[in-house]
Amino acid sequence: MSAELTIEDLIVGDGKAAVRGALITTHYRGFLADGTEFDSSYRRDEPFQCILSNNRVIQGWILGLQGMKTGGKRRLWVPAALAYGERQIGTMIPPNSDLTFEIELLEVLTRDD
């Protein structure tokens, strides 16, 4: 995996675009570099809601989801430096892990809504 964030649009949405500070609702799957799935909102059957800002989600999501439109699906290859860095997260994500996410953007709410 490269040292930079890589973004691939699987489906280009046609709805409202995600911006920093927006409340977003997504479905996602997260994978380690070896392909092991470490998390999935689909498996929990519960969409994930978060504010697209520091201290809410990893930098890779903040950078990788801005401009993505509702209805879209995107794959992000996130280097460890833009994920959890040297921290171990639970039992599934070792330190210095590059991560891959498949993210479906369901809704974007901004302060203007």
80 closest CA partner among 96, 91, 95:
96
Instruction: Confirm whether 51 is a catalytic residue.
Output: no
Domain 6-109 indexed as CATH 3.10.50.40: yes
Tell me what pLDDT residue 49 has.
Answer: 96
42 is catalytic: no
- Residue 39 is a catalytic residue: yes
Residues of the chain with pLDDT under 70: 1-2
Question: In sequence order, which residues have a C-beta less than 8 Å from that of residue 110 and are 6 or more positions away?
Answer: 16, 19, 21, 22, 23
